[in-house]
């Protein structure tokens, strides 16, 4: 890396905020998708929006690619460095800039965690609605990049529905104030474009979100079923009766077994469990909760447990939210997939996954947001067994193809990132992708802002999608990944 450029970075940020020691850089070689790794040329730790702007200006001038990073919890390699890049780690931009309870708005810097926003407003009876499972540690800047959802987005929507404004550094180093505390900024909805653009259009340096009043009542139940079809029928009937629950989650036998081994939530031993949560005005929740219980019974629920207090509700959610990590209790390795199908296609797609499980010989646990058809198959494998890791990747890819064939999506909440960019042509035509690329080029004509994400790159000959493995040509030092 150009020493003059590095000296300028140190001049702007101070020597302590520019990391170059190979051991320190390794910390930033991947996010929470550890099989994709690439060590950046440098990592910078700005403390203000002005510093971010100065860094981006330097990168734009020197044509050095840059990758913004929050707290590194992303599951699609959205913060994966590229060769020769500067990682702009935003962890020091962690101030709460304003808390305006009467207007139900909070403005924060991107390094603030998702849950910290709720902590700020909880004493007043408010909360920030999007609740990804990683909410204790993930950054709000990362949520903006990925348009994060969570278990409760069926009723409350995603990050894009709760962000009112962002201050952003554009890839040319100019600052833009997009959206506003006052709604209805005239013109195209740039907030909606930037939220979910996976850090490829701008780096946000402050974010204004809307916070919600806590609902008057919350009721949660756990219903057990002998078959996944029976649970699926219950979900269809709940939605069909005009009820939009705050959350509808399903887990299959393997996921239940794993959660039980890890956090002992006391889930009934069964093939399928369904978690349904209703919230809202007391009179509404009371009436509709009876309807939901009736539907579960008619659909063949073997047991129905109603959480009697917050503690019991927390136990149910602990079992659900621990399900991914818990797979480590039942399998040496596992691969989390994220795909979406129209909700009515769930039974059909789950059957195909069952057949695939039998055919591949790999166990597949299923944890999913049943209300919105967002599947999270957990593919178990043992990397010590030759060929199993590859097989897991193939199985994960096949499940995605089922999602697309059913009219769904490659990703519901984890993002395309570096992980799934090769699959984009399955979902989008060349014209679709070309239009998105034109929008990208309008923001970033030099292609410096988080390159290598979302869009399928021309790949090296003989390369297969999936976890990164060094191509023989790269290994031999004959080519490098850009």
Partner 1 sequence: MLIRGAGTKMDWGRTPAAIDVILSTRRMNRLLAHQHGDLTATAEAGATLAGMNRTLAEHRQWLPLDPPFADRATIGGILATNDSGPLRHRFGTPRDLVIGVELVTTDGALAKAGGRVVKNVAGYDLSKLVAGSFGSLAAIVSATFKLAPLPAASKTLVIEASDFDALGRIVGAMMASQLEPLAFEIHVPDVVGAELGPPSRAGQRRPLRSSLQLRFASVAAACDAQIAQACALAPLTDCATETLQGDEEREAWETHARRIWDAPGALVRASWLPATVSAAMSELRRMAGSACIQLAGRAAIGAGLIRIDADVRAQAAVVEQLRQSALFGNVVVVRGSPDLKALVDVWGPQGDRDQVFASVKRALDPDGVLNAGRGPL
Question: Which 273-332 positions form the footprint of partner 1 (CB under 8 A)?
Answer: 280-284, 287-288
Instruction: Give alpha helix (H) positions in 153-240.
Output: 153-156, 190-194, 228-240
Q: Does 178 bind partner 1 (CB under 8 A)?
A: yes
List C-alpha distances in Å: 53 to 16, 90, 141, 174, 300.
18, 12, 16, 7, 59
Q: Does 114 bind partner 1 (CB under 8 A)?
A: no
The smaller minimum CB distance to partner 1, of residues 103 and 136, is found at: 103
CB of 378 to partner 1, least distance (A): 18
CB of 78 to partner 1, least distance (A): 10
CB of 122 to partner 1, least distance (A): 15
Confirm if 108 and 215 have CB atoms less than 8 A apart: no
Among 26, 50, 306, 434, binds partner 1 (CB under 8 A): 434
Q: How far apart, in whole angstroms, are the C-alpha atoms of residue 464 and residue 472?
A: 12
Residues 133-162 that bind partner 1 (CB under 8 A): 146-147, 149, 153-154, 157-158, 160-161
Q: How far is CA 110 from the centre of its chain?
A: 16
The smaller minimum CB distance to partner 1, of residues 96 and 244, is found at: 244
Among 3, 22, 102, 458, binds partner 1 (CB under 8 A): 102
List C-alpha distances in Å: 33 to 29, 77, 139, 287, 371.
10, 6, 16, 43, 26
Number of residues that bind partner 1 (CB under 8 A): 91
The smaller minimum CB distance to partner 1, of residues 244 and 457, is found at: 244
Q: How far apart, in whole angstroms, are the C-alpha atoms of residue 233 and residue 414?
A: 27
Q: Does 171 bind partner 1 (CB under 8 A)?
A: no
Residues 79-98 that bind partner 1 (CB under 8 A): none
Among 72, 140, 443, 466, binds partner 1 (CB under 8 A): 443
Cα dihedral angle (250, 252, 258, 260), rounded to 10 degrees? 70
Q: Does 174 bind partner 1 (CB under 8 A)?
A: yes
Cα dihedral angle (227, 232, 234, 239), rounded to 10 degrees? 180
Q: Where are the beta strands (DSSP E) in 101-143?
A: 105-108, 126-127
Among 4, 23, 182, 476, binds partner 1 (CB under 8 A): 182
Q: Does 456 bind partner 1 (CB under 8 A)?
A: no
| Stretch touching partner 1 by CB under 8 A, among 220-228, 246-254, 368-376, 386-394 | 368-376
């Amino acid at each position: 890396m150009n020493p003059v450029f590095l000296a300028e970075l140190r001049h702007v940020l101070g020597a302590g905020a520019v990391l170059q020691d190979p051991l320190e850089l390794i910390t930033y070689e991947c996010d929470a998708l550890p099989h994709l790794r690439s060590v950046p040329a440098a990592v910078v730790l700005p403390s203000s929006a002005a510093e971010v702007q100065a860094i981006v200006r330097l990168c734009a001038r020197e044509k050095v690619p840059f990758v913004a990073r929050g707290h590194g919890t992303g599951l699609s390699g959205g913060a994966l460095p590229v060769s020769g890049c500067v990682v702009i780690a935003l962890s020091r931009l962690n101030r709460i800039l304003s808390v305006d309870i009467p207007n139900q708005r909070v403005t924060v810097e991107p390094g603030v965690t998702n849950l910290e926003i709720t902590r700020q407003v909880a004493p007043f009876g408010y909360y920030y609605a999007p609740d990804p499972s990683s909410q204790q540690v993930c950054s709000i800047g990362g949520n903006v990049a990925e348009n994060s959802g969570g278990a409760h987005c069926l009723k409350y929507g995603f990050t894009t529905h709760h962000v009112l404004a962002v201050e952003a550094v554009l890839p040319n180093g100019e600052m833009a104030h997009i959206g506003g505390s006052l709604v209805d900024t005239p013109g195209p909805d740039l907030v909606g474009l930037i939220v979910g653009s996976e850090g490829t259009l701008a780096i946000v340096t402050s974010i204004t979100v809307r916070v919600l009043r806590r609902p008057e009542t919350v009721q949660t139940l756990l219903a057990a079923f002998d078959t996944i079809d029976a649970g699926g029928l219950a979900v269809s009937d709940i939605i069909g009766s005009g009820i939009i629950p705050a959350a509808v989650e399903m887990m299959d036998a393997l996921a239940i077994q794993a959660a039980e081994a890890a956090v002992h939530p006391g889930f009934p031993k069964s093939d399928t469990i369904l978690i349904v949560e209703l919230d809202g005005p007391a009179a509404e929740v009371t009436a509709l909760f009876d309807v939901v219980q009736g539907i579960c019974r008619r659909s063949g629920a073997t047991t129905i447990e109603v959480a009697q207090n917050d503690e019991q509700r927390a136990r149910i959610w602990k079992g659900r939210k621990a399900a991914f990590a818990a797979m480590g209790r039942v399998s040496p390795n596992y691969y989390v997939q994220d795909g979406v199908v129209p909700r009515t296609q769930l039974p059909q797609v789950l059957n195909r996954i069952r057949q695939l499980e039998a055919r591949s010989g790999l166990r597949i646990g299923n944890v999913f947001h049943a209300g919105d058809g967002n599947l999270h198959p957990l593919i178990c494998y043992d990397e010590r067994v030759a060929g199993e890791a590859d097989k897991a990747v193939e199985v994960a890819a096949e499940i995605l193809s089922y999602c697309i064939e059913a009219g769904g999506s490659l990703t519901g909440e984890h993002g395309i990132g570096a992980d799934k960019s090769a699959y984009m042509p399955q979902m989008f035509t060349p014209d679709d992708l070309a239009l998105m690329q034109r929008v990208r080029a309008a923001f970033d004509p030099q292609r410096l802002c988080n390159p290598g994400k979302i869009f399928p790159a021309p790949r090296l000959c003989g390369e297969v999608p999936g976890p990164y493995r060094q191509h023989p040509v790269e290994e031999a030092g004959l080519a490098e990944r850009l």
